[in-house]
């Protein structure tokens, strides 16, 4: 019964947060609205990181790569082909998925800290290419001056912070909802099983590399979609948006939120990004110090949340898990995924 109560309470909190996010643009100032829109886009990348890190058991520092692919594809489409938001979103998600598919051979057999380093390399290589492919990307100075996006054929372009924010919110809510639905299907069940014990999953006759590739491509599509939202929210993109610090902060945000939970990852990533952006505004010169202290404090304040991030990075332990797995780990992830 206790589970039931908690499930409802969590549902209520989620509904409350969503309601708060919907009314936010009429309550807060333009700055907060603009920052929220940008944060939502990054939090959506956090969701894709959680999908790989927590659900599929592949900690990643490379989701900035499909994120960047989506963003730049969106700009190209936006300035040359169509100003319709859903078109740009679809193209961006497609670009993210294609880039993820191209990198599948690199990551599909790797696990743990090896994935972390391979994805780091992929992210850095993509940023390097972006900085040098000036005819498309505008180089390290980035691209600005994209035409305003209209969400759908016949609708007016998004001209205010409120409008851009609401568009972002709708897209993020839709994509997160889709991800949650996906996790309730067979695919989600198999991903969780694979994270628990990949060898066992294989012994049952499942084609694990196929699942991993699928998850990687799906996460790439989500990150790509988030890229198109960044373009809308920020009206400017540059390789700096997709650098190592972004991917590191997203991974840490996801760790704070609980890697195995989509909702937690969304909140964690949003929180980390929002706090960082806010600190750079209000505490000039001391932002890294405070941010670092906050990370350390989080480990102490949120032990339960953080300790769910039980992705072991040592290659040797990527093999079968011990049957005497600690109960805390077992229980915590399960109710989360059904939220």
Partner 1 sequence: MPHTTPWHSRALGATLLAVVLTVGTACGDDGPGPSASGSIKVGLLASLSGTYQSVGTEIRDGFQLYLDTHDGKLGGRRVDLVVADEGNGAQTAVPAATKLLKQDRVAALTGIVGGGSVAGVTPLLEETKVPLVGSNGRPELKDVSRVWHTSYLSDEPGEAIAQHVRDTVQGSVYAIGPDYQGGWDELRGFTDTFVKIGGKLANSDGKTTFTPFPATTNFTPYFARIKASGAAAVYTFYAGSAAVDFVKQYAQSEIKDVPLYAAGFLTEGGVLNAQGDAARDIFSVLNYSPDLDNAENRAFVAAWKAKHDGSPTTYALASYDAAAVLDRAIGAAGSDPTPEAINTAIGQLGQIASPRGTWQFSTTTHSPVQKWYLRQVRQDGRALSNTVVGDLATVGR
Partner 2 sequence: MMAVVAAGTNRIDPYVIPALDGVAYGLLVFVAASGLVFCFGVANILNLAHGTLYAIGGYTAAALLDGGWASLALALAVGVLAAGAAGVLLAGLLTPVATGNHLTQALLTFGVALAGGSLLVAGFGPDDPQVRVPAALEGSVVVAGHRYAAYRLVFIVVAAAIAAALYLVVRRTRAGMLVRAAVDDAEMVACLGVSPARIRAGVLAAAGALAGAAGVLGAPIIGPGTDTADTVLLLSLVVVVLGGLGSMAGTLLAALAIGEIQTLGVALLPSAAPFLLFAAMAAVLAVRARGLASRWGAT
Partner 3 sequence: MNPLLSAEEVSVRYGSLTALAGVDLSIHEGQRHALIGPNGAGKTTLLDVIGGATKPQRGTVRFAGRDISRLGPAARARRGINRIHQRPAVFPTLTATENVVVAALPRVVPRRRWWSGGRRRTAQHRAGPLLERMGLADVAAVPAGHLAHGQRRQLEIAMALAGSPRLLLLDEPAAGLSANEVGRLVDLLRALPRAIAVLLVEHRLDLVYALSDTVTVLRDGQTLAAGTPDEIRTSPLVRQAYADGVA
Residue 339 as a binder of partner 3 (CB under 8 A): the answer is no
Residue 137 as a binder of partner 2 (CB under 8 A): the answer is no
Query: What gap in Å lies between CA 261 and CA 267, rounded to an integer?
Result: 10
Minimum Å gap between C-beta 119 and partner 1 is 18
CA neighbor of 229 nearest in space, from 173, 299, 310 = 173
Closest to partner 1 by CB, 85 vs 112, is 85
Site string for partner 1, 107-126 (x = CB under 8 A): --------------------
Region of 154 (left: φ > 0; alpha: ψ -120 to 50; beta: rest) is left
Single out the residue of 82, 213, 307, 321 in contact with partner 3 (rule: CB under 8 A). Answer: 321
**Residue 310 has what DSSP assignment?**
-
Single out the residue of 91, 149, 250, 270 in contact with partner 1 (rule: CB under 8 A). Answer: 270
Query: What gap in Å lies between CA 11 and CA 154, rounded to an integer?
Result: 35
Query: What gap in Å lies between CA 25 and CA 165, rounded to an integer?
Result: 8
Across-strand partners of 144? 236
Residue 203 partner contact from partner 2, partner 1, partner 3, none using kind-dependent CB cut-offs of 5 to 8 Å: partner 3
Residue 144 partner contact from partner 1, partner 3, partner 2, none using kind-dependent CB cut-offs of 5 to 8 Å: partner 1
Residue 185 as a binder of partner 3 (CB under 8 A): the answer is yes
Q: What are phi and psi of 308, to 5 degrees?
A: -75, -15
Closest to partner 1 by CB, 224 vs 305, is 305
Residue 13 as a binder of partner 1 (CB under 8 A): the answer is yes
Residue 109 as a binder of partner 2 (CB under 8 A): the answer is yes
Query: Which residues make Cβ contacts (< 8 Å) with residue 176, sequence separation at least 6?
Result: 44, 47, 262, 266
Closest to partner 2 by CB, 111 vs 150, is 111
Site string for partner 1, 123-162 (x = CB under 8 A): -----x--xx-----xxxxx-xx---------------x-
Single out the residue of 197, 212, 216, 258 in contact with partner 3 (rule: CB under 8 A). Answer: 197
Minimum Å gap between C-beta 93 and partner 3 is 20
- Cα of first residue to Cα of last residue in the chain, in angstroms, is 16
CA neighbor of 108 nearest in space, from 184, 55, 57 = 57
Specify the pairing of strand 143-144 against strand 236-237. antiparallel
Which pair of structure tokens corresponds to residue 116? 């972390």
Residues lying near partner 3 in the complex (CB under 8 A)? 185-186, 189-190, 192-193, 195-197, 199-208, 320-321, 323, 325, 327, 329-331, 333-334
């Amino acid at each position: 019964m206790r589970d039931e109560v908690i499930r409802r309470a969590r549902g209520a909190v989620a509904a409350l947060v969503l309601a708060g996010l919907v009314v936010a643009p009429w309550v807060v100032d333009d700055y907060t609205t603009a920052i929220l829109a940008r944060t939502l886009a990054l939090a959506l990348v956090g969701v894709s990181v959680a999908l790989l890190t927590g659900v599929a058991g592949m900690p990643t520092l490379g989701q900035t790569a499909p994120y960047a692919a989506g963003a730049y594809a969106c700009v190209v489409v936006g300035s040359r082909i169509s100003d319709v938001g859903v078109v740009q979103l679809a193209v961006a998600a497609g670009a993210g998925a294609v880039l993820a598919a191209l990198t599948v051979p690199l990551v599909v057999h790797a696990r743990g800290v090896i994935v972390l380093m391979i994805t780091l390399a992929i992210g850095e290589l993509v940023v390097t290419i972006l900085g040098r492919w000036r005819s498309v990307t505008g180089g390290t100075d980035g691209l600005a001056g994209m035409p305003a996006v209209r969400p759908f054929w016949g609708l007016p372009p998004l001209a205010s912070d409120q409008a851009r924010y609401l568009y972002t919110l709708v897209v993020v809510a839709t994509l997160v909802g889709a991800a949650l639905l996906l996790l309730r299907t067979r695919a989600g069940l198999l991903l969780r099983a694979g994270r628990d014990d990949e060898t066992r999953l294989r012994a049952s006759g499942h084609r694990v590399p196929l699942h991993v590739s699928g998850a990687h491509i799906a996460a790439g599509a989500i990150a790509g979609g988030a890229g198109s939202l960044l373009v809308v929210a920020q009206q400017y993109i540059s390789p700096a948006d997709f650098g190592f610090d972004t991917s590191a902060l997203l991974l840490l945000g996801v760790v704070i939120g609980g890697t195995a939970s989509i909702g937690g990852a969304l909140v964690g990533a949003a929180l980390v990004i929002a706090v960082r952006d806010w600190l750079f505004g209000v505490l000039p010169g001391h932002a890294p110090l405070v941010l670092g202290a906050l990370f350390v404090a989080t480990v102490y304040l949120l032990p339960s949340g953080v300790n769910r991030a039980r992705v072991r990075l040592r290659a040797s332990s990527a093999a079968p898990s011990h049957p005497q797995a600690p109960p805390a780990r077992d229980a915590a992830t399960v109710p989360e995924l059904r939220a």
